Structure 1
Amino acid sequence: MFKQLLPILSCVIALSSTHSLSTEVIDVTILADDNYYPYSFVEDGMLTGAYTQIIERIVKEMPNFRVQLVPVPWKRGLKLLKSGKAFALYPPYLKKQARPYIWPVSKPILDEITSVFCRTDILTTPRPNWPNDYIGLTIGNNHGFQIAGNRFWQLVKQGKITVKEFKNNQVNLTKMLIAKETDCYMNDREAILLSWHSLISQTKWKHKVMAMTEGAVISKEQGHLGFTNNDQGFYYYKKDFLIKFNKILEKIKQSGELEEIINQYWQSLREIHSRNIDAN
């Protein structure tokens, strides 16, 4: 009789354990780049951006997780992931060789087109071939951003292209279009254009900003939610979180809701900049 009860008891224990895990509410902290305009940044003390809005939408459907999004400088976020002291960070590109400590990653959240923009006087002769057409120039980059491709960084190492890194889009554009410390600036196309509108809306710079022109398209990248793989199992809920996150992300992609969120956000930013420009 006792032997017959053992399988039944085992089943009950397994079911209760599953139920306990499924009803557990876990506090989760996700780090966000605090200076990646317009995708993830802090404005008036609040974290915002296209990725932020999308991730906030996704985690609303994840009641088992109480998620807090915390802005940090990008390099600090990477260090925290590398040390295993942070659960996840957005929005890294998929760069397994450069950042082997970031794994797994979510499904791609957004498509980003990375371009190089230069002062118009630099592009009087077109420079369509990246990066060879940019030899001899000084290119601006955001601190810690690993974009532009291996060939570009080889040319930098050889001293054929100079890179200057600054804090964010706004500073890089100022250094290029006002101070002329750089010839070009490489980053996400939408980010550069929106930052440019923001820059020219400021009265003190309005009549000092030089014209710029888009040069070569560098790449098409995709941002993800990236997780640490150096936590030694501390974040035991990582796999469950990722499965749920990806499922909801795929759902809002298929329904068209994701595209709607992105388009509405870009439109709201353009309207804000237009109002600022009109006011000045």
Structure 2
Amino acid sequence: MHRLLIGLLACVLHAGSWASPPIEVTILCDAGYPPYSYAEGYQARGLYQDILRVAFARMPEYRVHIRPLPWARALAELAKGRAFALYPPYHRPAERPWMDYSRPILREKLVVFLRAEVARTLPDERFPQAYGGLRIGQNSGFINIPDQDYQRMLARGELQQVYGKDNRTSLAMLYRGRLDAYINDRRAVLWELERMHSDGVLGDNGLSWIVEGPWLTGEEGHLGYTRRNPQAYPYKEDFKQRLDAVLTDLEREGVIYRIVSRYDAIYALHLRSAGI
């Protein structure tokens, strides 16, 4: 019996010695898109990070490291094949043919925010027809206004599109009158406005200067994978399939809903509608 136990133990140790270690994977994330994805020091934070950390914990075959970078730089790294994956791009296959996508992780709501004094001058609420001549803010690297009328007005010079590096920069431009309107996710804008208000950036004006305009569309964030330099990422298809399966489970189990609900409770500011 003693020899049998020793033999079994030897077999177990031998098998363990042949077990493959987890594959080391580095994923980039947007460093300036709170509350969805941002950096504190060198650490990734945000709603997507919270969801994906739960997902990666269910993928023991991989040890995932998340590295925050400015969005435009992170996109460039993926486009050149120098990075494996990035979150949270929207699904834009025509503009980014070098990217593959995970299943959707989370749905965001794109909304137009306007200076109150500008909103009062608009003839009606139609977007973008009523916005001729206005300076519209967006964040660098985002391609998130697929509306054909909007694109035609841009091409004809009837709208001016102005880019800021992140939400705070763009909202500060809106506050100071360097923009007439700003388009981004509603949750992200409210989150940043509350912090600007708490930091005293808005002075004594509170939120009387800004109004919430029309809701445009919903956009879904993904994990985007490079199609370039495939020999550097031989595990790509396996990783993609495993993550999609785990995300499906997390949605079915209500895990994603519970994480999102925690973030919705962070801010209490509410904007009045344009009331045009």
**Range into which the TM-score falls when normalised by the shorter chain:** 0.7 to 0.9
Q: Deviations over 1:209-237 (max 9, x none)?
A: 55211112222110000100112332110
Write the mapping of 1:72-91 to structure 2, written as runs, cut at 5 A: 72-91=69-88
Deviation at 1:45, TM superposition (A): 4.5
Question: Is the helix fraction higher in 1 or 2?
Answer: 1
The SS at the match of 1:66 is: strand
Aligned residue in 1 for 2:246: 248
Q: Give the count of matched residue pairs.
A: 250
The SS at the match of 1:233 is: helix
Q: Deviations over 1:138-168 (max 9, x none)?
A: 1111111111124323312211001111111
Whether the 8 Å CA contact 1:130–1:217 is kept in 2: the answer is no
| Separation in 2, partners of 1:30, 1:234 | 14
| Separation in 1, partners of 2:77, 2:256 | 29
Deviation at 1:208, TM superposition (A): 4.3
Whether the 8 Å CA contact 2:42–2:68 is kept in 1: the answer is no
Whichever residue aligns with residue 121 of structure 1, its letter is E
Whether the 8 Å CA contact 1:28–1:66 is kept in 2: the answer is yes
Aligned residue in 2 for 1:130: 127
| Separation in 2, partners of 1:46, 1:234 | 25
Whether the 8 Å CA contact 2:25–2:63 is kept in 1: the answer is yes
Whether the 8 Å CA contact 2:27–2:64 is kept in 1: the answer is yes
Where does structure 1 lack aligned partners over 5 or more consecutive residues?
1-19, 274-280
Aligned residue in 2 for 1:233: 231
| Separation in 1, partners of 2:64, 2:159 | 43
| Separation in 1, partners of 2:84, 2:238 | 13
Please give the TM-score of this superposition, normalised by the length of structure 2. 0.85
Write the mapping of 1:32-181 to structure 2, written as runs, cut at 5 A: 32-103=29-100, 105-124=101-120, 125=122, 127-149=124-146, 150-177=148-175, 179-181=176-178
| Separation in 2, partners of 1:154, 1:147 | 15
Change (3 A) 1:44 1:86: closer
Counterpart pick for 1:198 among 195, 198, 220: 195
| Separation in 2, partners of 1:245, 1:235 | 15
| Separation in 2, partners of 1:262, 1:136 | 37
Deviation at 1:131, TM superposition (A): 1.4
Whichever residue aligns with residue 134 of structure 1, its letter is Y
Whichever residue aligns with residue 100 of structure 1, its letter is P
Whichever residue aligns with residue 229 of structure 1, its letter is R
**Percentage of pairs with the same residue:** 33
Please give the TM-score of this superposition, normalised by the length of structure 1. 0.84
Whether the 8 Å CA contact 1:199–1:206 is kept in 2: the answer is no
